[in-house]
Amino acid sequence: MKRDILTLGDVTREELAHLMDVAARLKGDRKHGRRHAWLQGRTLAMIFEKPSLRTRVTFETGMIQLGGMAIYLGPADILLGQRESVPDIGKNLSLWVDAIMARTFAHQSVVDLATSSSVPVINGLSDLYHPCQVLADCFTLRELRGDLAGMSVAFVGDGNNMAHSWMLAAARLGFRLTVVCPEGYEPHPDVLAAAHALGGTGVEVTHDIEGGTRGADVLYTDVWASMGQENEAEHRRKVFAAYQVNAKMVANAAKDVLVMHCLPAHRGEEITSDVIDGPHSVVLQESENRLHVQKALIAWLLGVKEAQ
C-alpha cells in the first residue's frame, strides 16, 4: 500500500529513526564516492507554487544521484487548481510518474494530491507544515548530539509551518520543545493538540523570551514574514523585534547551544549575522542534510530494498 508523507505525524518514531539511519548511510557513501542506482528508471514530479532553492535542488539532485530523474513543474506550468482541479492533476500524474513532491501555499492542495494519487506524495512545504526540513534538522542534531530524547529545543519566532513540524517531531522523538512567540502569533491550536495527542507532553508555548530560551540546547528560528505575508512584513518587524536570535539570546541558552535556521535568512531581522555565521551555527549542515534525508525518504517510499 502506498504511503504519503504530509506531516511528521505520518511516520512513527521507529520509522523516523530508520530514515535517519538510511540518510546517514547515503551521506557516508557519497563522501566516499560510492554511488547507487536505486531509482533507475524512476521519475519524481515536483510541483512548485513557491520559489525554491534548497527544496528544488536537493530533491532533483537526490533523484539524479540515485539514478532517477525529476520533472520540475513551476507555478505557471500547471496552474495548480486553476487550469484543472488538484485531484485531476494527481490522477494524471499518477499515470506517468512514480512519486510526487509538492511545494504549495494551501496544505489542502497537498492533501488533495495525496488522496487522488496512486503514487506516494511528499509535502515539500505547505503553509501548515514543512516535514522534510525538520527531518533534516533532526538528523543534523542526531549527528552532532546523538539521541534527541531529553534534548531542549527553543523555537523562537512565528508559530508557523516550521513550528508546527517541530511540534510533531518533538512528540515523535521525545525531546522538549518550547515555541517562544509574541502574543497573537502562536502555533495553530489544532496542531498543538495533535502534538499532545501523539505524546508530546514536553511541547509548550510561551511569550517569555528569557524564560523560554534559558538553558536551551538548540535555538531555532525562521523568517518573521513567510511567502504570501509580504504585506505584513513591516508590522511583523515591529512585533517580533524582541525575538531576534542574537548574542544575548545565545548567552542565555546552554553553553554549547546549537543555532539553527531553515533558510533563507533575513540577516539583521530574525537572526544577526554574527550568530548565523558564528561558532554555534549549524545552518549549512542542516542545508546539506536536506539532500540525504530526502534521498532516504524517496527510496523508502518507493520500496527500494536497500532503504527498507
pLDDT in tens, the chain (308 residues): 899 999 999 999 999 999 999 999 999 999 999 999 999 999 999 999 999 999 999 999 999 999 999 999 999 999 999 999 999 999 999 999 999 999 999 999 999 999 999 999 999 999 999 999 999 999 999 999 999 998 999 999 999 999 999 999 999 999 999 999 999 999 999 999 999 999 988 999 999 999 999 999 999 999 998 877 788 889 999 999 999 999 999 999 999 999 999 999 999 999 999 999 999 999 999 999 999 999 999 999 999 999 99
Query: Cell numbers at residue 152, please?
Result: 531542549
Report the pLDDT value the prediction gives residue 260, as an integer from 0 to 100: 98
Report the pLDDT value the prediction gives residue 228, as an integer from 0 to 100: 74
- What residue spans define the domains of the chain? 8-130+289-307, 133-286
- The structure's pTM equals 0.97
Query: Cell numbers at residue 184, please?
Result: 497573537
Return the beta strands (E) in the chain as ranges: 43-48, 69-73, 99-103, 121-125, 152-156, 176-180, 203-206, 218-221, 258-261
Report the pLDDT value the prediction gives residue 165, as an integer from 0 to 100: 98
CA 238 to chain centre: 26
Residue pair 71/275 in contact (Cβ under 8 Å)? The answer is no
* Host H or E run for residue 64: helix 54-65
Report the pLDDT value the prediction gives residue 285, as an integer from 0 to 100: 98
Cα first-last separation, the chain: 14
Report the pLDDT value the prediction gives residue 232, as an integer from 0 to 100: 85
Neighbour tally for 41: CB within 10 Å: 9
- Helices 131-145 and 283-301 meet at what angle, rounded to 10? 110
Q: What is the DSSP letter of 224?
A: S
| CATH class held by domain 8-130+289-307 | alpha beta
- Catalytic: which of 262, 280, 292, 294? 262
* Rounded Cα distance, 11 and 151, in Å: 20
- Catalytic: which of 42, 176, 280, 290? 290
* Rounded Cα distance, 295 and 259, in Å: 25
- Catalytic site includes residue 133: yes
Q: Which of 294, 13, 1 lies closest to 307, judged by CA?
A: 294
Half-sphere exposure (Cβ direction) of 250: Cα atoms closer than 13 Å: 19
- In CATH, 133-286 is 3.40.50.300: no
Query: Cell numbers at residue 224, please?
Result: 518573521
Report the pLDDT value the prediction gives residue 225, as an integer from 0 to 100: 86
Q: Are both 8-130+289-307 and 133-286 of the same fold?
A: yes
Cβ-count burial 152-189 (b if 16+ within 10 Å, e if not): bbbbbbbbbbbbbbbbbbbbbbbbbbbbbbbeebbbee
- Catalytic: which of 56, 107, 130, 280? 130
- Catalytic site includes residue 65: no
The CA-CA-CA angle for residues 37, 69, 297, to 5°, reads 70
* Rounded Cα distance, 166 and 179, in Å: 9
- Catalytic: which of 65, 133, 244, 294? 133
- Catalytic site includes residue 107: no
